[in-house]
């Protein structure tokens, strides 16, 4: 059987990770990121091809080569995310999954960074998870390629146990019946079971809840102020309408990870592209399906008990 191959592309200035504005981007270098990815991929029998360039043309050439040579692409296009239609078009041609990564939460930064030309052609988008976002992207790529997890790989470093409140908003109780052509056939019960299994694997305590009530979700968010180490939330439609829920989550001193089953940036309704939650979230994961919840828990386990 041919070894799966994943292309990892990094754009302008990412060769300066670790030195570039460390207050924003952290102290981890791109070499260290690549080493972590290599170790994870090797344990799973997957080949990685790393490329970084400050040239738009070189990145376009690499994306075009990926049409026949790789099984998935992970890309952090850096500043080109917000300017390059040509790179977007090259990625849009690919017949393989494309996972966009940003170290910082671009939705919480300068207005010109809020729109990425890449996001609407990506399969999934992970922002704000720091350099751990690359590992989450690789995990999702391997999931899409049906690469089994290594038995001995917990996927996280040694950290103290953490607790997470996992919230799902309106109409998610009807997953599996609600527009399955968009949301798939997975039910919320199946997601909850996967969350429980992943939490047990990671040593994370997960309290899983769903409500169609804005007030109940606000109450739960307020409760998280002192009772949990992190909040994982799929606010569903309330993402785009609820200022009270946004304000409740903004008050929290713990990480808030927003999850959406679909890639909301690729949805046809323009209002779906503008979540009120994203700018105040620590990290945002969209388009990873039910796996997005598991990726969020992996990030909770990776960061450990932490108050922001």
Can you list the positions of beta strands (E) in 156-229?
Answer: 162-168, 204-210
Region 186-207 average pLDDT = 96
Nearest to 66 by CA among 8, 139, 11: 8
Q: Could you tell me if 63 and 91 are in contact, meaning their C-beta atoms sit under 8 angstroms apart?
A: yes
Convert the pLDDT of each residue in 107-129 to its tens digit: 999 999 999 999 999 999 999 99
Q: Out of 25, 183, 293, 302, pick the active-site residue.
A: 25
Domains, in order of start, for the chain:
5-144 (3.40.50.9100), 162-303 (3.40.50.9100)
Cβ–Cβ contacts within 10 Å for residue 56, how many?
Answer: 17
Region 5-31 average pLDDT = 96
Element (H, E) at 259: strand 256-260
Token pair for 124: 């999934």
Convert the pLDDT of each residue in 248-281 to its tens digit: 999 999 999 999 999 999 999 888 899 999 999 9
Task: Give, in order, the Cα–Cα distances in Å from 276 to each of 19, 21, 241, 258.
Answer: 31, 26, 7, 11
**160 confidence band (pLDDT: 50, 70, 90):** low
Instruction: Specify whether 25 is catalytic.
Output: yes
Please tell me the total number of residues recorded for the chain in this structure.
Answer: 308
Instruction: Specify whether 102 is catalytic.
Output: yes
Of 67-71, 163-167, 205-209, 215-219, the range with the lowest mean pLDDT is: 67-71
Q: Could you tell me if 290 and 190 are in contact, meaning their C-beta atoms sit under 8 angstroms apart?
A: yes
pLDDT of residue 101: 98
Q: Out of 82, 102, 107, 114, pick the active-site residue.
A: 102
DSSP string, 53-86: -S-HHHHHHHHHHHHHH-SEEEEE-GGGGGT-HH
**Whether pLDDT at 151 is above 70:** no
Query: pTM higher than 0.75 for the full model?
Result: yes
Q: Cα separation of 187 and 247, whole Å? A: 29
Convert the pLDDT of each residue in 275-293 to its tens digit: 999 999 999 999 999 999 9
Tokens 């001193």, located at residue? 253
**158 confidence band (pLDDT: 50, 70, 90):** low
């Amino acid at each position: 059987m041919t070894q799966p191959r994943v292309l990892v592309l990094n754009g302008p200035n990412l060769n300066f990770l670790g030195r570039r504005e460390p207050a924003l981007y952290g102290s981890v270098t791109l070499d260290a990121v690549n080493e972590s990815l290599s170790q994870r991929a090797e344990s799973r029998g997957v080949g990685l091809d790393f490329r970084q360039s400050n040239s738009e043309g070189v990145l376009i050439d690499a994306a075009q080569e990926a049409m026949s040579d790789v099984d998935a692409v992970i890309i952090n296009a850096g500043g080109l995310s917000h300017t390059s239609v040509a790179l977007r078009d090259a990625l849009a041609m690919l017949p393989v999954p494309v996972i966009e990564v940003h170290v910082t939460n671009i939705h919480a930064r300068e207005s010109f960074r809020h729109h990425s030309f890449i996001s609407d052609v990506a399969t999934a988008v992970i922002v704000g998870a720091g350099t751990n976002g690359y590992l989450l992207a690789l995990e999702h790529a391997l999931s899409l390629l049906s690469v089994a997890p290594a038995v001995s790989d917990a996927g996280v470093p040694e950290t103290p146990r953490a607790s997470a409140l996992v919230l799902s908003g309106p109409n998610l109780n009807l997953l599996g019946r609600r527009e399955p052509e968009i949301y798939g056939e997975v039910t919320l019960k199946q997601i909850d079971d996967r969350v429980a299994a992943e939490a047990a694997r990671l040593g994370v305590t997960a309290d899983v809840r769903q409500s169609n009530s804005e007030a109940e979700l606000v109450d739960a968010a307020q409760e998280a102020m002192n009772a949990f180490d992190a909040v994982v939330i799929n606010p569903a439609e309330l993402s785009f309408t609820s200022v009270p829920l946004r304000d409740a989550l903004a008050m929290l001193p713990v990480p808030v990870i927003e999850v959406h089953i679909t890639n909301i940036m690729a949805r046809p309704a323009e209002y779906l592209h503008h979540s009120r939650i994203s700018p105040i979230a620590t990290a945002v994961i969209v388009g990873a399906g039910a796996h997005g919840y598991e990726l969020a828990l992996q990030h909770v386990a990776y960061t450990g008990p932490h108050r922001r």
